[in-house]
Structure 1
Amino acid sequence: MPPGTATGQGARGPQVGTLPNLLGAAGDAITTSRAGSATAAEGGPTAVGPIGDPSRAAGPATVVFGAALFTRAPPSATDSPNPNYVIRAGDRVSVTIWGFIEASVVGVVDPEGNLFLPQIGPIRVAGTRAGDVQRVVEAEVRRVYSQQVQVYAVLLNASQVGVFVTGYVRLPGRHMGAGSDSILDYLTRAGGVDPGRGSYRDIAVNRGGRTVARVDLYRFLLTGQLPNITMQEGDTVVVAPQGAMVGADGAVRNNFLFEVSGRAMPGSELLRLASPLPSATNAVIRGTRGSQPFARYATVRELGSLQLMDQDTITFITDSPAPTVRVSIEGSRIGPSVLIADRDTTLCTLLDHVAVDPVLANPAGVFLLRPSVAAQQTRVINEAMDRLERQLFMAVSSTTGVAEIRAVEANLVSTYIQRARRTRPEGRLVVMDRTGRCADVRLEDGDVVVIPERVQTVLVSGEVSVPQAVVWRPDMRIPDYVRAAGGFAERGVETQVMIRKASGELILEPTEGPAPGDELIALPRLDPKNFQIARDLLNLIFQSALSARVFMN
């Protein structure tokens, strides 16, 4: 919703407006980083649904492209030819004739390609498709008996042929199959191309001392094309040695080792085979040139014009900043939960596009959850725990009794430290002051803007007898809330209290009572005899449980 506007439901329902309208009149307390960013269509944030990260980090390529062709069991030879099988010498054909004459013959196609039928004579069927044998035989019979004769002819089974498969395959030797079986069938019966030594791009079919076909399995993998060849007895399939290999990994769809058809592969061919993701902008090329390590950094566009050599590895990465940031909206909101904004968009500008219900939302309590702040808080907590552990276990005791006391205390604190190390700070960033003024902080990708709901209670916690939520009243002061929670506990003291506002801001020495939605915390009294450790432990409690960064002027 554009800033400075609001819609309502009349006197019977609450109004709906954007956050700046609720924070100050006409946006007086709001500053923006750009002028004229009133609507999403004019450059403001764009609402989207939840989306996934398009980038993907793949490991180094170790699988040869095409190896999956031969992971299944080899196909068994079948006696049932397909309709496109071409009949040849040695095939068995069944012919049944009834009507004026009756005959039933199961014959074998002779070396001349003929099938002999009594009272009919030889019929040439060699070279005929299995699906056309009925038509061919019936036409020849009707040349002799033109009327009152019915004919049924079918190819029973194709003759088996032995094909030699050799070269860089796992099971070289002679393998049986039908002449109509593809070269893939014979390669699979031979265990497939050896992925560590054999070529997927240079496979020859030899017959009678000459090469009758060459096969590049990459054409089959990418376009489904195989040479249309009928295998014959004595054919030899030879798999050549493996050619040069180039690997692709990172932001690619095909994370494989690709075989080079020659001595070098154009970068454009690798782009076609590897299919980089849309997010890939650059490539890291690693290899060897002149017996020396070689590395180059190039854009994806530049890669297309480069020559890649044997054993090169190309890692595709995303190496350009995104022009936008993704920000999530949580809490009391009306509208989308995710906004996409320009990288220079500030919080106040973003809030111009967040609609809220003024009755339910608490604009003064808005805060940010920032992953980078959470990481910094985690580091600070770990460093504080390391210092505390050194003080616990490296302190010198004057007597045995003092040493025993310190050992017991050290074990207790050490137990707390182990539990504290599992604390995950939320990375809260305080962006609202006590008057509800917004800090014009630039947004980061992954930020979460939290808009708390209005509540009429104050949470009293810490060193009180009964920690609980107490209903807020304007005439109540800090002692009144403590009494409502059962008074101070044994380690509680009246001078050690603080208030945490809904926005995350901490007030260590409060002079006024809490507001609705605040948290009143009674801090523990420090033990003077071990002041340093107690102070560090208390500081650790603050950092792990109440950690927040203030970003206000």
Structure 2
Amino acid sequence: MSEFERYVQRLAGQDREAARREAESANDPGRVAAEAEPIRRFGSELMSEASRGGLLQESSTQIPQDYVINVGDEILVTLWGSVDADLRLTVDRSGRITIPRVGPVMLAGVRYADLNSAIDQRVSQVFRNYKISTSLGRLRSIRIYVTGFTQRPGAYTVSSLSTLVTGLMKAGGPTGAGSFRQIELRRAGKTISSFDFYELLIKGDKTADRTLQADDVIHIGAVGPQVALIGSVNKPAIFELKPQDTLADVLAMAGGFSAVADRSRFTLERLDARNDARVIEIPLPQQEKNKLRDGDILRAFSAVETALPQHKQSKRIKVEGEVQRPGEFILPANSTLADAIKAAGGLTPGAYLYGTDFSRESVRIKQSENYERALRAMEIDLLRASSGKKALSADEAATQVAKEQSSTRLVERLRSLKPTGRVVLEIPPEANNLPDLSLEDGDRLHVPAVPKSIGVFGSVFNSGSYLYKTGAALGEFMKLAGGPTKGADTGSSFVVRANGSVVSARQSTGGWFMSGNSLESLPAQPGDTVFVPEEMDKTTFMQEAKEWTQILYQFGLGAAALKTIKN
């Protein structure tokens, strides 16, 4: 591998790492899988051991008509009619075969196409009324030489049907300093063919691939100017240039742009400007006829990864629940929640607008990051608290172990819960319209039916859901659940509203009720879920969860998470 090839691979590796980090942040870790292959010299993959093993499988079943017979070739002759014979004869050092009762036949230098007539002419001098068939059997071997910038220079014994490409493969092809485009076939001191491997690889042109003869020399010259083309093209690689090659030619060598490429530009990093980290942009197609320099690195960009500004993007959103036509919709830029409802045909009579669940992917990603950070901080606090306590008796030690186990189990439950990306829509329960909020691509809107129940969970005697009654306060539903248990911390109770907001008994100012009132006197709303935690001095993990309202509100876990946590 050349120094230039190592440098290009390092650049491509940096690009892949940056793309990997971006894909992970977008929750799409498989996006860069297709770009995992290293950037190599164009054509070098054909020189791998596996490729050579397949290409060097030669077959004598297909013999070209212009094959020249020479010493060592085996001739198969079949005669029938007035004479019967089935002969297997080898061309001797004098270039002849000897047919019994006929005599010698000179074949050295005869083309395979003329073999049958050459033997028939000699046999006809002795016999009449016969038929003849001739073919070649085992072919002779010849010795050739591979020299220059090749992996394994030296002499090789190959079949007389071998071509220049066969000999090149047998020697391992060019080294990192060898050329794929300056390969010569020399015979008797003269160059009889100049072979450009790119003509075969790109165009399938095998015209210059000549059949080898004994003592031929395949000479690989030094590599010419090289440029790299990476990014959104079909075949990112390092390409060797000829003097007439332009930027358009290099793009053609790479198979053109990929389906997702930005076809309007390249970036170009030049060897003489590399130490200054200067990169220039080349507009296309205006400069596609420009010549390139040795060591240039071109990069094509993906149009998919370059996102338009939000105010220009069309929005793909999903509307579900109590609307006339639930489904996915493509809305113009700057559309709002009201436009989404309108696209879905409007609300049904049973829609509960206050309980609308509006989730957003960008919010979910941020919530997930913060939630994981909060859980790690919680684990550290628990570890610090447990390590700082010393048990004075066996009972205290057992109690401390039980507490730590309970804490660990609840952290595991919390970790199994995933933020939904829900955005709390701060609207009053009697609202008839949603806020004037602009949509983002991937938003999801679910409008539920009016709930018929109120949920009560936590440290109460009978957790469950109870039929909603108009005008009832939350305290009435807590009484239906049997009221708080002896170990309940009623001062830390809270209620999760249908719109995703949370109201806590510890709130003393602002909100929907003022200091002096209790949570029990708060008017109930359809879909409320009340949670009563245990006291802080108990041995369960509930004593460590001090900010339930903050967790539920910031991370959008919702009322459905409460039962999971309690269980």
Task: Give the TM-score normalised by structure 2.
Answer: 0.69
User: 1:208: Cα distance to partner?
Assistant: 1.5
Q: How many residues align?
A: 484
Query: Matches of 1:465 and 1:248 in 2, distance apart?
Result: 71
2:240 counterpart of 1:260:
yes
User: 1:232: Cα distance to partner?
Assistant: 0.5
Residue matched to 2:456: 460
Partner SS state of residue 441, structure 1: coil
User: 1:96: Cα distance to partner?
Assistant: 1.6
Residue matched to 1:446: 442
* AA aligned opposite 1:514: Q
**After superposition, where does 1:238-257 map in structure 2 within 5 Å?**
238-256=219-237
Query: Matches of 1:307 and 1:334 in 2, distance apart?
Result: 61
* Structure-2 change in CA distance of 1:393 and 1:204 (3 Å): same
Residue matched to 2:198: 218
User: 1:69: Cα distance to partner?
Assistant: 0.6
Residue matched to 1:14: none
Larger CA deviation: 331-340 vs 238-247: 331-340
User: 1:428: Cα distance to partner?
Assistant: 1.0
2:551 counterpart of 1:541:
yes
Paired residue for 2:79, among 80, 90, 97? 97
Partner SS state of residue 351, structure 1: helix
* AA aligned opposite 1:499: V
Q: Cα deviation per residue 1:9-66 (whole Å; 9 max; x = unaligned)?
A: xxxxxxxxxxxxxxxxxxxxxxxxxxxxxxxxxxxxxxxxxx9999888369532222
User: 1:172: Cα distance to partner?
Assistant: 1.6
* Structure-2 change in CA distance of 1:234 and 1:271 (3 Å): same
Identity %: 19
User: 1:364: Cα distance to partner?
Assistant: 5.2
User: 1:163: Cα distance to partner?
Assistant: 1.4
Query: Matches of 2:107 and 2:34 in 1, distance apart?
Result: 63
Paired residue for 1:327, among 305, 316, 341? 316
Residue matched to 1:21: none
Residue matched to 1:200: 180
* Structure-2 change in CA distance of 1:290 and 1:359 (3 Å): closer
Partner SS state of residue 551, structure 2: helix
Residue matched to 1:512: 523
* AA aligned opposite 1:513: A
Partner SS state of residue 278, structure 2: strand
Higher-strand-fraction structure: 1
Query: Matches of 1:359 and 1:365 in 2, distance apart?
Result: 14
CA contact (8 A) 1:284 1:295 kept: no
Q: Cα deviation per residue 1:91-123 (whole Å; 9 max; x = unaligned)?
A: 221112121133444334468876554538746
Higher-helix-fraction structure: 2
Query: Matches of 1:264 and 1:505 in 2, distance apart?
Result: 69
Larger CA deviation: 112-121 vs 100-109: 112-121
* AA aligned opposite 1:67: S
* Structure-2 change in CA distance of 1:212 and 1:486 (3 Å): farther
Higher RCO (C-alpha under 8 Å, 6+ residues apart): 1
Partner SS state of residue 203, structure 1: strand
Q: Cα deviation per residue 1:185-229 (whole Å; 9 max; x = unaligned)?
A: 2222212333x3322222221111122222222222222222241
Please provide the CA RMSD for this pair: 4.7
Residue matched to 1:87: 68
* AA aligned opposite 1:230: T
* AA aligned opposite 2:343: H
User: 1:304: Cα distance to partner?
Assistant: 3.0
Partner SS state of residue 218, structure 1: helix
Paired residue for 1:499, among 493, 496, 501? 496
Unaligned runs of 5+ in 2: 1-27, 505-511, 513-518, 538-542, 559-567
Partner SS state of residue 132, structure 2: strand
CA contact (8 A) 1:498 1:520 kept: yes
**After superposition, where does 1:77-476 map in structure 2 within 5 Å?**
80-84=60-64, 86-90=67-71, 91-109=73-91, 117=99, 118-119=101-102, 122=105, 126-129=109-112, 133-134=115-116, 136=117, 140=121, 144=125, 148-194=129-175, 196-226=176-206, 227-256=208-237, 258-262=238-242, 266-274=246-254, 275-281=256-262, 282-289=265-272, 292-298=275-281, 301=284, 304-318=288-302, 320-322=306-308, 324-325=313-314, 327-329=316-318, 331-332=320-321, 338-354=328-344, 358=348, 365-378=355-368, 381=371, 424-431=418-425, 433=427, 434=429, 435-452=431-448, 456-474=452-470
**After superposition, where does 1:5-84 map in structure 2 within 5 Å?**
58=35, 61-71=38-48, 72=50, 73-74=52-53, 80-84=60-64
* Structure-2 change in CA distance of 1:492 and 1:60 (3 Å): same
Paired residue for 2:484, among 488, 492, 501? 488
Task: Give the TM-score normalised by structure 1.
Answer: 0.70
Query: Matches of 1:335 and 1:82 in 2, distance apart?
Result: 68
CA contact (8 A) 1:287 1:294 kept: no
Query: Matches of 2:43 and 2:464 in 1, distance apart?
Result: 66
* Structure-2 change in CA distance of 1:383 and 1:210 (3 Å): same
* AA aligned opposite 2:190: R
Partner SS state of residue 483, structure 1: helix
Unaligned runs of 5+ in 1: 1-50, 549-553
CA contact (8 A) 2:102 2:126 kept: no
* Structure-2 change in CA distance of 1:342 and 1:239 (3 Å): farther
* Structure-2 change in CA distance of 1:172 and 1:500 (3 Å): same
Query: Matches of 1:365 and 1:127 in 2, distance apart?
Result: 94
* AA aligned opposite 2:76: S
CA contact (8 A) 1:378 1:425 kept: yes
